[in-house]
Amino acid sequence: MTTEVSEAAAARGAAREIVSYDPSTGEELGRVPLGTARDVERAVGRARAAQGAWAARSFKERARVVLRARAIVLEEMDEVAGLVGRESGKPAAEAMAMEVVPTLDLMQFFARRAARLLRPEKLDIGLYRFLGRASEIEYRPLGVVGIISPWNFPWATPVGEIVMALMAGNTVVLKPSELTPLVALKIADVFERAGAPEGVLEVVTGDGSTGAALVEAAPDKIMFTGSTVTGRRVAEAAARRLIPVVLELGGKDPMVVFEDADLEAASSAALWGAFANSGQACASVERCYVHETVAEDFTRRVLAKVRALRQAARDADIGAMSSERQLLIVEGHVREAVGRGARVLAGGGRPKGAPERGFFHEPTVLAGVDHTMAVMREETFGPVLPLMTFKDEAEAVRLANDSEFGLTASVWTRDLRRGRRVASLMEAGTVMVNEVLYTHGIAQTPWGGVKQSGLGRTHGRLGLLELVAPHHVHVNRLARVPDPWWFAYTPGAAALFRSLARRFASGSLLQTILISPQMLGRLRELKKRRDD
């Protein structure tokens, strides 16, 4: 395991470096190298050199390293949560709940289950098995997996992907966000102390250029989490080299509250779903649609709960935004919405009395919004909850699906049949009934979106399968018997092929038995030609 020190920086004697700040105080937390393309190439080279020996280890041996890493995290969980909190601006309690707890669970799950989830699989090949054939799929490691991760969950996002990639027998090169490099170095430190051999997990700190260099260094797969704009750029660069990518690009996730919902629970969920992590989650509730008959009651409950939230740099419910850039985007969305007629029911901007250098935005509730506004169309990625009403189920589904994104969606009703019915109409990778936001925390469930929310999946068996190459082995146990479809294409062969089209390709054994005399005739013909 190595953390790259920039060669260029060393050559000049003056560090090309990144400064990490606490976004809630402006305090400098540390400095790390800004990795160059050469640094990335070397890291990929080391990961490639280490991969064969790592893949040759059994699942149990790989699991031992992951479980030792898990034990270190457990021992140092307060330090981890504190560091995540300081570098990203979120409350340490939230870092514990949303980052440390899910990764501890994911580590034990994949350490214990990866072998079973990737067990070789016998395939049902239908009528071909009567020709003495058998097919099996082995799941082989891809090689080197490049992970490009964002700043909003700087621990949980990369750790989950690292653990799954390593358990599948790959080695990893991680390029974390320039806003949260110290968390990434802590991840490297944990795996190093857990006994991961040199090259199994490489971390190259840097900025967007370092991420771009990782794609150019041609790892065997890229796991990217971030914005749609950058994701598209990564996909284009990867396509030039035919590198497969998984893109987790965030969303504009709707929450639909029907008139029969438990409004007390739904209002608390809306609050947490929209404001946890200062709204900087790809699955945050970004749009809330409430049935017109309960909208007043729901809004009253939401506003009472917003007033009770505490916002501060430490030990609060809501922390700071991760960067000034993000804060400016959120302010821009709120300003535009208000300029076009939206009403601010709570919050609305930077809190009065916030530390001057902290990037805080108040938890904000908007009414009077519509789908022409950026706050209802673009990813706001901030603590903003816009409320709209609807008249009936059809309108709710139409509004929820009226988005270029499709990561998660949430439906609230006491009628679970209705919940499932509406869920099946939603255009999203995950739809939750009477829940919001949290299923990224479940190791067993797939995570990923449709439409502009991305490609592929992370987590669950589907996510694990993204990190392996299916290796199909097909065996012919009757190799002495010639295949009827081989040369020569005699008139008898042509007649048999027509029968195969009609009967064998129907999938019916009975139909196929009817052509066995013709088949035997063809085999005799082939044998005779061979013997002649």
Query: Is the Cβ–Cβ distance between 389 and 297 less than 8 Å?
Result: no
Residue closer to ligand NDP (CB basis): 329 or 467: 329
Asked if 381 is part of the footprint of ligand NDP (rule: CB under 6 A), the reply reads yes
User: In the set 168, 173, 223, 234, which binds ligand NDP (CB under 6 A)?
Assistant: 234
Asked if 311 is part of the footprint of ligand NDP (rule: CB under 6 A), the reply reads no
Asked if 282 is part of the footprint of ligand NDP (rule: CB under 6 A), the reply reads yes
Q: Which stretch binds ligand NDP (CB under 6 A): 95-103, 190-198, 225-233, 480-488?
A: 225-233
Residue closer to ligand NDP (CB basis): 21 or 151: 151
Residue closer to ligand NDP (CB basis): 183 or 500: 183
Query: Is the Cβ–Cβ distance between 200 and 191 less than 8 Å?
Result: yes
Q: Which of 248, 331, 378, 427 is catalytic?
A: 248
Residue closer to ligand NDP (CB basis): 50 or 148: 148
Asked if 54 is part of the footprint of ligand NDP (rule: CB under 6 A), the reply reads no
User: In the set 6, 88, 103, 152, which binds ligand NDP (CB under 6 A)?
Assistant: 152
Cis peptide before 469 (omega within 30 of 0): no
Asked if 362 is part of the footprint of ligand NDP (rule: CB under 6 A), the reply reads no
Give the pairing of strands 384-390 and 285-291: parallel
Task: Considering only residues 162 through 201, tell me which ones interact with ligand NDP, judged by CB under 6 A.
Answer: 175, 177-179
Q: How far apart are CA 430 and CA 460, in angstroms?
A: 13
**Dihedral over Cα of 152, 154, 156, 158: its sign:** positive
Q: How far apart are CA 181 and CA 6, in angstroms?
A: 14
Q: How far apart are CA 236 and CA 215, in angstroms?
A: 10
Secondary structure (H, E, C), 436-494: CCHHHHCCCCCECCEECCEECCECHHHHHHCCEEEEEEEEECCCCCCCCCCCCCCHHHH
Asked if 374 is part of the footprint of ligand NDP (rule: CB under 6 A), the reply reads no
Q: Of 273, 270, 278, 276, nearest to 294 (Cα)?
A: 270
Q: Which of 178, 192, 282, 288 is catalytic?
A: 282
Asked if 249 is part of the footprint of ligand NDP (rule: CB under 6 A), the reply reads yes
Number of residues located near ligand NDP, criterion CB under 6 A: 28
Measured at the alpha carbon of residue 284, what is the angle toward residues 280 and 285, in degrees to the nearest 5?
A: 135
Task: Considering only residues 434 through 473, tell me which ones interact with ligand NDP, judged by CB under 6 A.
Answer: none
Asked if 230 is part of the footprint of ligand NDP (rule: CB under 6 A), the reply reads yes
Residue closer to ligand NDP (CB basis): 6 or 299: 6
Task: Considering only residues 402 through 441, tell me which ones interact with ligand NDP, judged by CB under 6 A.
Answer: none
- Helices 295-307, 263-275: axis angle to 10 degrees equals 50
- Least distance between ligand NDP and beta carbon 249 (Å): 5
Query: Is the Cβ–Cβ distance between 141 and 55 less than 8 Å?
Result: yes
User: In the set 141, 154, 169, 211, which binds ligand NDP (CB under 6 A)?
Assistant: 211
Secondary structure (H, E, C), 299-329: HHHHHHHHHCCCECCCCCCECCCCCHHHHHH
The contact mask relative to ligand NDP for 313-352 (x = CB under 6 A, - = no) is -------------x--x-----------------------
Residue closer to ligand NDP (CB basis): 250 or 446: 250
Retrieve residue 155's tokens: 């621990």
248 is catalytic: yes
Asked if 227 is part of the footprint of ligand NDP (rule: CB under 6 A), the reply reads yes
Residue closer to ligand NDP (CB basis): 109 or 151: 151
Query: Is the Cβ–Cβ distance between 408 and 437 less than 8 Å?
Result: yes
Q: Of 153, 288, 125, 124, nearest to 225 (Cα)?
A: 153
* Catalytic residue IDs: 248, 282
Contact set with ligand NDP (CB under 6 A): 148-152, 175, 177-179, 207-208, 211-212, 215, 225-227, 230, 233-234, 248-250, 282, 326, 329, 379, 381
